[in-house]
Amino acid sequence: MLPSFSPAATAAATPPRPIPGGYGIPVLGPLRDRLDYFWFQGPEEFFRRRAAQHRSTVFRANIPPTFPFFLGVDPRVVAIVDTAAFTALFDNTLVDKRDCLIGPYNPSDSFTGGTRVGVYLDTEEPEHARTKAYSMELLRRSSRVWAPEFLNGIDTMLTAVESDLAAGKEGGASYLVPLQQCIFRFLCKAVTGADPAAESLVDRFGFYILDVWLGLQLVPTQKVGAIPQPLEELLLHSFPFPSIIVKPGYDILYRFIEKHGAEAVAVGVDSHGLTVKDAVNNILFVLGFNAFGGFSVFLPFLVLEIGKADAGALRARLRAEVRAALEETGGEVGFAAVAKGRMPLVRSTVYEVLRTRPPVPLQFGRARQDFVLRSHGGEGFAVARGEMLCGYQPLAMRDPAVFDRPEEFVADRFVGEEGEKLLSYVYWSNGPETEDPALGNKQCAAKDAVIATACMLVAELFRRYDDFQCEGTSFTKLQKRQPS
């Protein structure tokens, strides 16, 4: 049973109330919230506790980074952790998405060769439609080679993992590096037509360069956990990192795309009116940040969830579904084999992973005007023009008003007519799963390609193996398919 709630901003149902919570005294309030967020509580507990304390799914808090060297970064946000109020973040009449991709802190555009790339642009900026149209055209052009290139990469990855496993590596065979290499190569070839094999430096180190480039931009906003927390606070969360550290690597990738992806660059110049520099920088951002970054986080979540030791029953159901569907489509995995309706449990499992572990957990947007933010039951909160909204997806996606057993992983949650209705509350792509990316919105341009790619990965695993198991980012068992 789904609740009926008003959209995030409507004519007043009940008079708006002030937003609970606060920011504390200058410097100390933000510092305390930062330490709670990274250290004493962690992001999820940070939002959970404040929602409980204020008995509200909309409240005020400070979001890192802050103090002492993030000058000009205002950490004050209106946090949102329910599915109803969250929709305000998708309404471009209400929020301005300019320069707030990762929050109030905006990494310097020197990370992107001096270009303000499309993902940082608001829908009211004419360049947004231009760069989004470019991304969407690159995706359309890639559709013929996307599946074969991805499966080729997965084959290389699994062959490497199989031989590591056969060699009896302790703790299983890690697939992290082979997976990143697979994602990097497949994206370069599919999206830009540039084959990393043409330059051995790019082929061997391209994905490392992207990891460092991503890390330098994101680390001030992320809990890392690799060094003791006091050191992490001092060394990783106190100041922005300069892009100069990764500039030589970025320049290598820039020249690689300019030369070997020349056709894709020309599409940006000839059909979308971009300069060569802006076309290459936009390609590198979409490829490196959105696509490589997104898949590098999401695919391991997916493999781990299915490969858990206690998920044997789910694997058996998935295997049966995949094999039956492949028999109907000629045995090969591809877009057609995973099209909507063919593997409903596989698709639902993919959605459930995106619900329980949204790869991009935070979404931001600045109020364009004063408005009433509506939560469930018409409850309203007065938001003032210029305030930064911050939606925390991991909690919104476990909203008990919408999802039954919200904390549980229910693989077939989205199967069938009733299950599919819930897709309008799945927001991983920065918009409801039932809506489509367009030039006038900020929804992920590759929304459908991401789902199909994840379904293909699951299908390929069960085409190839009777069973498998994972721990962390390692395979501990790969049981090859036996003739039936």
Q: Which residues are annotated as a binding site for heme?
A: 444
Residues 50-69 within binding reach of ligand HEM (CB under 6 A): none
Q: Nearest CA to 383 among 90, 26, 7, 77?
A: 77
**463 phi, psi to nearest 5 deg:** -70, -35
**What single DSSP character describes residue 431?**
B
Residue closer to ligand HEM, measured from CB, 211 or 379: 211
To ligand HEM, the closest distance from the beta carbon of 362 in angstroms equals 8
Q: Is 147 in the site for ligand HEM (CB under 6 A)?
A: no
Residue closer to ligand HEM, measured from CB, 107 or 380: 107
Annotated binding site: 444
Residue closer to ligand HEM, measured from CB, 173 or 210: 210
Residue closer to ligand HEM, measured from CB, 76 or 130: 130
The angle subtended at Cα 290 by Cα 284 and Cα 295, nearest 5°, is: 115
**327 phi, psi to nearest 5 deg:** -60, -35
CA distance 478 to 126: 50
Q: Which residues of 124-150 are buried (b: 16+ CB within 10 A; e: fewer)?
A: ebebbbbbbbbbebbbebbeeebbebb
* Stretch in the footprint of ligand HEM (CB under 6 A) among 31-39, 41-49, 65-73, 285-293: 285-293
CA distance 354 to 347: 11
Q: Is 188 in the site for ligand HEM (CB under 6 A)?
A: no
Which of 249, 359, 361, 380 contacts ligand HEM by CB under 6 A?
A: 359
To ligand HEM, the closest distance from the beta carbon of 414 in angstroms equals 17
CA distance 157 to 207: 14
Which of 34, 60, 130, 132 contacts ligand HEM by CB under 6 A?
A: 132
To ligand HEM, the closest distance from the beta carbon of 63 in angstroms equals 14
Which of 360, 383, 388, 478 contacts ligand HEM by CB under 6 A?
A: 360
Q: Is 97 in the site for ligand HEM (CB under 6 A)?
A: yes
To ligand HEM, the closest distance from the beta carbon of 53 in angstroms equals 27
Which of 243, 281, 363, 474 contacts ligand HEM by CB under 6 A?
A: 363
* Stretch in the footprint of ligand HEM (CB under 6 A) among 157-165, 211-219, 368-376, 424-432: 424-432
* Stretch in the footprint of ligand HEM (CB under 6 A) among 15-23, 30-38, 233-241, 422-430: 422-430
Element (H, E) at 389: strand 388-392
Residue closer to ligand HEM, measured from CB, 87 or 430: 430
Q: Helix 344-356 vs helix 447-464: angle between axes, to the nearest 10 degrees?
A: 120
Q: Binding mask 99-128 vs ligand HEM (x if CB under 6 A, - otherwise)?
A: --x----------------xx---------
Number of Cβ atoms within 10 Å of the Cβ of 424: 15
**422 phi, psi to nearest 5 deg:** -70, -15
To ligand HEM, the closest distance from the beta carbon of 237 in angstroms equals 21
Count of residues touching ligand HEM (by CB under 6 A): 26
To ligand HEM, the closest distance from the beta carbon of 445 in angstroms equals 4
**319 phi, psi to nearest 5 deg:** -60, -45
To ligand HEM, the closest distance from the beta carbon of 428 in angstroms equals 6
Residues 298-317 within binding reach of ligand HEM (CB under 6 A): 298
CA distance 223 to 218: 10
Q: Which residues of 5-19 are buried (b: 16+ CB within 10 A; e: fewer)?
A: bbebbeeeeeebeeb
Residue closer to ligand HEM, measured from CB, 19 or 389: 389
CA distance 421 to 419: 5
- 3-state SS class at 380: strand
Phi-psi region of 341 (alpha: psi -120 to 50; beta: other; left: phi over 0): left
Residues 431-460 within binding reach of ligand HEM (CB under 6 A): 442, 444-446, 449-450
Residue closer to ligand HEM, measured from CB, 389 or 444: 444
3-state SS track over 6-60: CCCCCCCCCCCECCCECCCCCCHHHHHHHHHHHHHCCHHHHHHHHHHHHCCCEEE
Residue closer to ligand HEM, measured from CB, 178 or 288: 288
Q: Which parts of this chain interact with ligand HEM (CB under 6 A)?
A: 97, 101, 118-119, 132, 135, 139, 191, 286, 290-291, 294-295, 298, 359-360, 363, 428-430, 442, 444-446, 449-450
